[in-house]
Structure 1
Amino acid sequence: MAKASGAGRAAGVREARRPEVRLPELRPYEGRDGGGLEPDGDYDGVGFEDLDLGGAEASGATFLDCGILRCGLDGAGLEKARVIDSVLDGVWGVGTRLAGAELRDVELRDARLGGTQLHGARLNRVLVRGGKADFLNLRQSRLTDVTFEGCVLVEPDFGGAALERVTFVDCVLRRAEFGRVTLKDVDLRGVTELDIATGVDRLAGAVISPAQLMDLAPAFAAQIGVRVEQPVRRRT
């Protein structure tokens, strides 16, 4: 595993722009008849605090200037939702469905997520800080100006995704899937544990550290068909 500290700036690598979220005074969420979220709902300046939103069906909903704080999202259906200028802090859940969603100017802090479905999603100016995500599905998604900071990603799947100006700072990437991914200005030097399961041949457009290069050397060699073996000692 490669060991590295924070990611500095390399010549020619553009850093991800971070969101600047300033939430207004939020009004407490009051579901219709005490119920949960609604499909195509419109939530503007709403605070969701300490709620169990598991199993909610809110595909196509819009969250603008919202705070979603310490809420459970187990199995929540948020396909094609729009989350804009919002903060998600301390949320948790397994199987949250966000396929085709748009996240723009969003901060996701200290989340505990498993099997989150974000395939086909669009992430623009998003900061993921702290927390852990297992089996994060980002296949065919588009990430622009996204920063992962101080988080652990276990078996994230970036297959077929397009990443531009994506920065990893003091993060762990375990068994990451990069098959058919497209990278531009992606800074991996701040990954403290870099473990790529597939797609090492797709790292063009990324920058890595010398230590990471040494750790990935066997995978690079295997990719081009080079065998690395100890020399045979011949008797004289």
Structure 2
Amino acid sequence: MAGKGRGVAVRAARRPEVRLPELRGWGGGRLEPDGDYDGVEFAGADLSGQEGAGARFLECAVRDCVLDGAGLARARFLDSVWEGVRAVGADLSGAVLRDVEVSDARLGGVALHGAEWERVVVRGGKFDFLNLRGARLRDVVFEGCVLVEPDLAGAVLERVSFRGCVLRGVDVAGARMADVDLREAAELEVVRGVESLAGAVVTPGQLVELAPALAACLGVRVVP
């Protein structure tokens, strides 16, 4: 993708193409660790505190569900959609999201360290204190999201873009980036690891805003 006339080539993220089959409704009960869910619609379910570590969700829809404190470490969500999901303190560490569309979610304090996202689109919603330490994000698009104090320390981001997003208090210390497009972010505040933005693309205006942090990182003193 050409960089808005400035001659900067940025490889665009590959988007998911989710086409769900006819789904069967979730019959209730409790999730099972290492369970296998194929073509299931979870609609309006309260899955708070349930344990589904290692479970596989293939071609599933999770709509208007509550996942507060749910244990979904190492779960795999493949060719699936999340709509209106609410979760506080859920454990999705090491989870895999591949070919997933997320819309209007509200997540707070969710553990996603070591997670793998590939071909994921996130539209709208608010995300507070996401722990994405050491996660791997490849071909991920955030659109119109608010992310407050996301922890991306040590993460690997490749072909990731933020369009119309508010990014506040971002920690990217030790992160590795390639083709990360920040130019369309509505707000960009990096509080730690600004030196790890190598591989990202910003606008001249954003660069000015980042200048104090960059100067401090380089040990440059700015004296009037």
TM-score category, normalised to shorter length: over 0.9
For the pair shown, the structure with the greater C-alpha radius of gyration is: 1
Count matched residues: 221
Correspondence 1:16 to 2:13: yes
**Structure 2: distance between partners of 1:29 and 1:203:** 43
Aligned match of 2:160: 166
Aligned match of 1:26: 23
Change (3 A) 1:8 1:81: farther
Correspondence 1:95 to 2:89: yes
Aligned match of 1:221: 215
Aligned match of 1:234: none
**Structure 2: distance between partners of 1:172 and 1:68:** 25
**Structure 1: distance between partners of 2:72 and 2:86:** 14
Q: Which amino acid aligns with 1:17?
A: R
Question: Any runs of at least 4 consecutive aligned residues in structure 1 with deviations exceeding 4 A, and if so which?
Answer: 7-10
TM-score by length of 1: 0.91
- Structure 2: state its 5+ residue gaps: none
TM-score by length of 2: 0.96
User: How much does 1:141 deviate?
Assistant: 0.7
Q: Which amino acid aligns with 1:13?
A: V
User: How much does 1:8 deviate?
Assistant: 5.2
Q: Which has the higher contact order (CA 8 A, sep 6+)?
A: 1
Correspondence 1:179 to 2:173: yes
Alignment of 1:37-76 (within 5 A): 37-76=31-70
Q: Percent identity?
A: 61
Change (3 A) 1:72 1:8: farther
What is the alpha-carbon root mean square deviation over aligned residues?
A: 1.2
Q: Which amino acid aligns with 1:127?
A: V
**Structure 2: distance between partners of 1:101 and 1:91:** 16
